Structure 1
Amino acid sequence: MTGDALAITAFGGGHGLAASLSALRRITAHLTAVVTVGDDGGSSGRLRAELGALPMGDLRMALAALAGTDGWSTTWTDLFQHRFGGDGPLAGHAVGNLVLTALAERAGSPVAALDLAASLLGVDGRVLPLSCDGIDIVADVTGLGAGSGAIADIGAGTGTGTGTGTGTGTGTDRPVDSVEPGKSVEVRGQAAVATTPGRVEGVRLVPAAPAACGAALAAAEAADWIVLGPGSLYTSVLPHLLVPDMRAAITGSRARRVMVLNLVAQPGETAGYTPEAHLHALATHVPGLRLDVVIADPAAVDDPEPLARAAADLGGRLHLSSVRAADEPALHDPERLAAAFRAVFAPGSQADVGRAAVPVPPRPVDERSWRDRGAACVDPSGVGCSTTGGRGHRIPSGECKE
């Protein structure tokens, strides 16, 4: 399939996902964004703590990246992106986060809320959460020593799901100055993991097996291409692959898979990582994951040979293409990234080499097909919310990133 006929599902969060969506919308009209729900900082974190709501920051950013360009759509998009100033209770909140939270409360479903907002903003495509339930990101970090000023959550934090996304933690916070040098400590929460001064050795989710959004699972199954990254490795990309249902959907999909590498290392989270180190971390956390293509900017790759070998270890090939913005070398340029995607997606490209033609079952026409094949938790909006959840719909909790 080519052009507008390509079905593409992009996974990520924050500014990285917004960058890929801004490029992909230039290529296809059949585009779905699946957004991580692991944030606990900023406006999103406050809404999570105060209301037990699904933090909407990354979801809002994805909607804005896919919003229409007519006057009505741009007016609403600008409003959704507006942040209150001052130092009062609303300071720092994005209007869109509040509106999406209110829509989810009224509709009883984050999926329905996002679809309503997409109509308001003239979104070309669809934006979905990774899960309708809350997810915490927990990292094992070394190198937290005296003078770092960081706070570690020592001990296992536990949560109690109440159907409203609320929970309680039993971890003990203490300054890392008291941590033995070289000792691995647990750092909990997206905001803390993203800014840790130590080295992340591995990440996991709490709960360990959250239910994936059924509509997002269907999008992974129906895709021609699955796009991972760019974005924060441990807090935007890997969480999708740590949700068991979604990992199975991504690794088992007939879709081809492309990974877009960051242009620079993320301060704290992946400081000092080489490009190939990102792929090694991916392989370590997700055994059995196969990629078809890895896209990297040549200016961000000192030596392409180790990166090409790391891509080959995952079953893929390296595609070097200048994708950075001319005036902002740490940011992807939408037009350049779109050109790289077109080259990779083109029929007869090297991504097709070695792939046997095998019969595939018909794709579901819509998300109801997924639900009818066994999704247990039914979202009030009419789509399957999970393949593993309990009876009925659970009010969402969770996180995003803004």
Structure 2
Amino acid sequence: MRVEVMSVAVQKRERPRIVVMGGGTGLSVMLRGLKEMPLDITAIVTVADDGGSSGILRSELQMPPPGDIRNVLTALADVEPLMSEMMRYRFSSGSGLAGHSLGNLILAAMTDISGDFVTAVRELSRVFAVRGRVLPAADEAVVLSAEMEDGIIVTGESKIPEAGGRIKRVFLEPSEVEPLPEAVAAIEEADAILIGPGSLYTSILPNLLVPKLAEAVMASEAIKIFVCNVMTQPGETDGYTVSDHLQAIYDHVGKHLFDYVIVNSGDIPPQVQDKYAEKGAKPVELDYDEVTSLGYKVIADTLVLFRTYLRHDADKLSRHIYQLVQDWILRKR
């Protein structure tokens, strides 16, 4: 019996340690695939959300917004599908309840019971048998603002895509927000750091704007991978190519962060493009020569699935990521 326990412990230590940073639906979709791989996952999730149920709970209870955290917990949970569905359930009626996600309310209740948000996330992770760790980027809510190219300042994560202009830069208040020490340690110990997919300015960059997190990523010798969105996002990345996404990150952190960029090169059916075009979204163009001239290595493949919405093929994407990480570790040895 003791031999078996030791063997499992050794196997666990030998799993590549991967830190995934971001927020939003794209991150959760990808994590559903990654959790099936033999990886030690730490997800670092933005706390800048101020819209919908998260925004209400953030304002009324003075807690970090739970929505992105709840999505990631659900994606990594090892529970019956019905339990995951319950966490995602959103009330459609009821005074004070309409619009709230049950998972958000559970996180709010756990925060009140445990005394702080970080402990609440940790305890809920245990209850839901989460495969990996989920950490908020900070233990306090931050305010995300954007300076538009015309000089106008837009305050609030949910308001930025609605401003109707082109974004020059985004910034946090407070600017010197402290990250969780566990998040910094996870980055320092990582074999791989994965950023994206997700809203460039409102999900990805808020994590990299936390000074000590950005410094830890830049100092790390881990393989660094960027997963680019499949479609542009109205009000954020209208007309952006793959290199435009990378340039925006460079402009904010002052360094080329990534070794590899994973992008979709598969065709998107015209009827699907038409559906997204109605909302102003278009496929992100892979300007391959521009991306490679900047020193990035490109992994391009057909990585999309379409059901109700266009999403990354989580299984295929995860296999690419796992292979890159394995190859990187073998080269380092």
Bin the TM-score by the shorter chain: 0.7 to 0.9
Indicate the residue corresponding to 1:46 in structure 2. 56
How far does residue 330 in structure 1 lie from its aligned partner after superposition?
A: 3.1
The match for 1:252 is 219
Residues 303/292 of structure 1: CA separation in 2 closer, same or farther (3 Å cut): closer
1:52 partner letter: Q
* 2:302 is aligned with 1:322: yes
2:290 pairs with one of 290, 306, 311: 306
Residues 248/121 of structure 1: CA separation in 2 closer, same or farther (3 Å cut): same
By how many angstroms is 1:345 displaced?
1.9
Which amino acid in 2 is paired with 1:93? H
Matches within 5 A, 1:52-91: 52-69=62-79, 71=80, 74-86=81-93, 88-91=95-98
For the residues of structure 1 that align with 2:16 and 2:32, how far apart are their CA atoms? 16
Equivalences, count? 306
- Maintained 8 Å contact 1:54/1:101: no
Q: Which has the higher contact order (CA 8 A, sep 6+)?
A: 1
Conserved 8 A contact 2:43-2:133: yes
CA contact (8 A) 2:91 2:101 kept: yes
Matches within 5 A, 1:377-388: none
Alpha carbons 2:143, 2:156 under 8 Å: kept: yes
Match status 1:261 vs 2:228: yes
Deviation at 1:107, TM superposition (A): 1.2
From 81, 101, 105, the equivalent of 1:94 is 101
Q: Is 1:130 the equivalent of 2:133?
A: no
Q: 2:19 aligns with which of 6, 9, 15?
A: 9
Any conservation in 2 of the 1:7–1:28 contact (CA below 8 Å)?
Answer: no
Q: Which residue of 31, 34, 47 corresponds with 1:37?
A: 47
Are residues 1:239 and 2:206 paired? yes
Which structure 2 residues correspond to residues 370-381 of structure 1 after superposition, within 5 A?
none
Using the TM superposition, give the Cα deviation of residue 19 of structure 1 relative to its aligned residue in structure 2, in angstroms.
2.1
1:221-257 alpha-carbon deviations (Å, 9 max, x no partner): 1110000000011111111111111111111122211
1:201 aligns with 2:168: yes
- Among residues 306, 309, 312, which one is paired with 1:332 in the alignment? 312
What is the CA-CA distance between 1:329 and the residue it aligns to? 7.2
Deviations 1:306-328 (A, max 9, x none): 22223x1xxx3111122111546
Q: Is the 8 A contact 1:77 1:121 kept in 2?
A: no
The question of whether the paired residues in 1 share the 8 Å contact of 2:223 and 2:325 is answered with: no
Q: Which amino acid aligns with 2:78?
A: G
Is residue 2:271 matched to residue 1:287?
no
- For residues 94 and 272 of structure 1, the distance between their equivalents in structure 2, rounded to whole angstroms, comes to 33
TM-score between both structures, scaled by the size of structure 1: 0.72
RMSD: 2.2
Structure number with higher helix proportion: 2
* Percent pairwise identity: 35
- Answering whether residue 241 of structure 2 is matched by residue 274 of structure 1, we say yes
Cα shift readout 1:329-363 (whole Å, capped 9, x = no counterpart): 731011111122133223269x95xx7x7xxxxxx
CA separation of 1:87 and 1:195: change in aligned 2, threshold 3 A: farther
Q: Distance in 1 between matches of 2:328 and 2:92?
A: 52
Stretches of structure 1 that go unaligned for 5 or more consecutive residues are 143-182, 358-402
Distance 1:329 1:304 in 2: 26
Q: Pick closer, same or farther for the CA change 1:335–1:100 going to 2, 3 Å.
A: same
Question: 1:29, CA displacement in angstroms?
Answer: 4.0
Residue in 1 aligned with 2:189? Answer: 222
Q: Following the alignment from structure 2 to structure 1, what is the Cα–Cα distance between the partners of residues 319 and 290?
A: 25
Alignment TM-score, normalising by the size of structure 2: 0.86
TM-aligned CA deviation for residue 289 of structure 1: 4.1
- In 1, are the aligned partners of 2:242 and 2:287 still within 8 Å (CA)? no
Q: Secondary structure at the match of 1:90?
A: coil
User: 8 Å contact 2:19–2:192 — kept in the other structure?
Assistant: yes
Distance, in Å, in 2 between the alignment partners of 1:339 and 1:76 is 27
SS in 1 for 2:299: strand
Asked if 1 retains the 8 angstrom alpha-carbon contact of 2:198 and 2:229, the reply is: yes
Aligned partner of 1:120 in structure 2 is 127
1:345 and 2:312 correspond = no
Does the 8 A contact of 2:241 with 2:287 survive in 1? no
